[in-house]
Structure 1
Amino acid sequence: MMKTLQDLIDESIFISTEYQARLAELTGDSDWSVDFSAPSFTLEADNSVTLNPYLLGTESESRGTWIWSWKELGYFPDAVVAPAIQTREGGAQHSIDELTTDELTLKDGLARRLALAAKTLTGVYAHYPVQVGPGVRAWILLDGDLLELEAPTVNRMGRVMAQALQTGTAVNHLKAVDSYARLRGAHIAWDTEATAVITASDGALRLWFDEGKISGIEAAEPTVDASELNRCAAHAASLREQLRSERSEVENIAAAEASAQTSARAEQEAREKAEREQDDAQATAEREAAQRQKEAEAREEAARAEREKAEREAELAAAREAENVEGTTTTDRVYTEVEEPYNQAPSEDIQPGRVTTNSLPAEQVEEPAANDRSDEQIDDTEVLETETVESNDYEVVDSEEKRRGYKPAAFRVAGDAPDLAAERKEREDVEPEAEQKKEKKGFFSRFFGL
């Protein structure tokens, strides 16, 4: 018979509530520690309280998913993950996707619903969510001798059912009541779908149902004797033992899958490592090729610079060779250490002076005949000149007569107005005499403007 996820939840909701109450009695407010390698779940307040933990899966708020522990095997002992695999195998028989999909999107109450379904399929009825990181909780199932329940009583069963119904988790109350009675070793008799009587060692209860929901509960007369109750208890124990035996067989499946997953992860890690090494080798080769290219470009650039330098030197040598004309001296050879030989500042030790020019009297120079020689053949030695630098303001005295008739200009201080009348009179006194002497000037005097 195929079942749904809700059917499995309904079958475990009442017995789960009773086991959770028993677990609360043991743990109270005590701190706890879990060691999956042992495996053990220990209360810090009382080290004598040790239970067996089984990892179902984890819910991550940051990731927003539930992950079954059988998704990644090999990190925990086979016994620790066996109930999760047992749940998966049972879910596969009933085609329940929530129990066979390794990762599920979180919804409100999903982790608790999955844990309740797993309890029906594994026979481990207590659970405990433990915080293992920021926003990450691991859901574990717990069992052990300290969690074993006492023989059922109708009073306790009535309180448990009333408490469980307050959560609103159960949907099919008929299925929930029937499963609870069988799993607890009590006897249940159905008169119709509307009423049932549960008999335990301390009495009986009648439950009324309306449209599949419990509508009432009252005391009733027992319907069976003690021997039948013993048979029911033995049947309940056999159901739990059957599920425990199945869980032991599942451990073999867990071991095989863990080995396969470990090998697959090792191969994946080896491939990733090889890919990383290949990428690193390729990156190294590319860097080395780029470095070689860079060095080659640098060598080529240096060679080009050397060629350009040699070409420039050859051009300069050719230019110097072209200027090396016999009988001439170029400025670049005279001023070898000066880039601009013509652009020189005057020496600091130069002294001001007076410049005078003397020439022979006109009557002592014979003018050559017109056809004797050309102007270009005149020897410069025929004219005697003497230059003396005396000051920056100088006057040229070009003849004996002019020197005798020379009169210095009226002295004036800078800023005084010139005596124009006196200067004009001096010029009038000198000019007639100069006109008379003008006719006596020879060729050189006329040529040089003297």
Structure 2
Amino acid sequence: MPPAPDFPPAQTEQALLERYAAIAYDKQTDLYEVIGDNSWNVEMAAGTITFGPGLAFPLQVLGTFSHASQTWLWAWANAQSNLPDGLLAQAGQLRAYGAQHGIELLSTSEFDATNRDLHIIGCIASGMFGASGYYLANYGQGTMVVTVKSELIDRVSKNDFARISQVFPQIIGVFEMNHRPAFIQYVAQKGYPVTETADTVSVAVGAGTLTATFDELGRLASLKGSSGS
């Protein structure tokens, strides 16, 4: 993954989602290509989550979702779990970012939540910290949300021409967002320069070009590719 573009700070939950949802969803494809549907096991002392032989990855713990109370608890607020400080770095940074910009999702220790919120938190953390993906680890009474980092996942071979064409239409079907800035930020984080007109954004990907056309409200109207000569 190329270095993150120098975007101005996103100052709302919605802006963070628009910046990171597509790139995070993109990386989830690579994560699940590596781990498949394998069961998971966390070794807190080692700071790893394991999905089978040769698939042990460093993790960061973001927080937990209680199935009984339907509430989210940030890891930095979970004193009873005695989590190692080294596994709380990302959660703590998100807390500080939320406090700085007045983003309640990131700075409120515990709140009523849904499964959708878990994915929003995972997407934001995955994108902001350049993780290889996030994982929702269901342990029966609740779900722990973690990020993982692994060169094995990052090296998964992909056809970005096809990947972008698949990922972006899917992610805007999952989350409400401003399509045009979300698309620009997505492809920029993948390292591709864009060319803009009043109603299009074109991206040179390899020998081809992807052209996204947007309506007067900035919503995606079409996403078409053309191969190079």
Q: TM-score range by the shorter chain?
A: 0.7 to 0.9
Say yes or no: does 1:19 pair with 2:27: yes
| 8 Å Cα contact 1:87/1:122 also seen in 2 | no
- Residue 104 of structure 2 is matched in structure 1 by 97
| 8 Å Cα contact 1:154/1:205 also seen in 2 | yes
- As a proportion of its length, which structure holds more helix? 1
In structure 2, distance between residues paired with 1:59 and 1:171: 24
Q: Match for 1:186 among 188, 192, 208?
A: 192
Say yes or no: does 1:113 pair with 2:115: no
Aligned letter for 1:100?
Answer: S
Q: Match for 2:42 among 25, 28, 34?
A: 34
Q: Match for 1:156 among 159, 163, 168?
A: 163
Say yes or no: does 1:7 pair with 2:15: yes
Distance 1:103 1:126, change over 3 A: same
Partner-residue secondary structure (3-state), 1:62: coil
Aligned letter for 2:97?
Answer: G
- Residue 88 of structure 1 is matched in structure 2 by 95
Unaligned ranges ≥5, structure 2: 1-8
Deviations 1:196-221 (A, max 9, x none): 00112231111001112111122358
In structure 1, distance between residues paired with 2:179 and 2:32: 25
Unaligned ranges ≥5, structure 1: 223-450
Aligned letter for 1:148?
Answer: D
Relative to the length of structure 2, the TM-score reads: 0.86
Relative to the length of structure 1, the TM-score reads: 0.45
Distance 1:90 1:196, change over 3 A: same
Supply the RMSD in Å over aligned alpha carbons: 2.1
- Residue 3 of structure 2 is matched in structure 1 by none
Partner-residue secondary structure (3-state), 2:88: helix
| 8 Å Cα contact 2:48/2:56 also seen in 1 | yes
Superposed, 1:346-425 pairs within 5 Å as none
Q: Report the CA distance between 1:2 and its aligned residue.
A: 5.4
Superposed, 1:43-442 pairs within 5 Å as 43-44=51-52, 47-72=53-78, 75-107=82-114, 109-124=116-131, 126-134=133-141, 136-149=142-155, 150=157, 153-167=160-174, 169-192=175-198, 194-210=199-215, 211-220=217-226
In terms of Rg, which structure is larger? 1
Aligned letter for 1:43?
Answer: F
- As a proportion of its length, which structure holds more strand? 2
| 8 Å Cα contact 1:154/1:198 also seen in 2 | no
Q: Report the CA distance between 1:151 and its aligned residue.
A: 7.1
In structure 2, distance between residues paired with 1:175 and 1:35: 39
Aligned letter for 2:17?
Answer: I
In structure 2, distance between residues paired with 1:120 and 1:31: 24
Identity, in percent, stands at: 25
In structure 1, distance between residues paired with 2:178 and 2:82: 39
Deviations 1:61-114 (A, max 9, x none): 222311000113582222211111111122222210111111111245222222
Distance 1:202 1:93, change over 3 A: farther
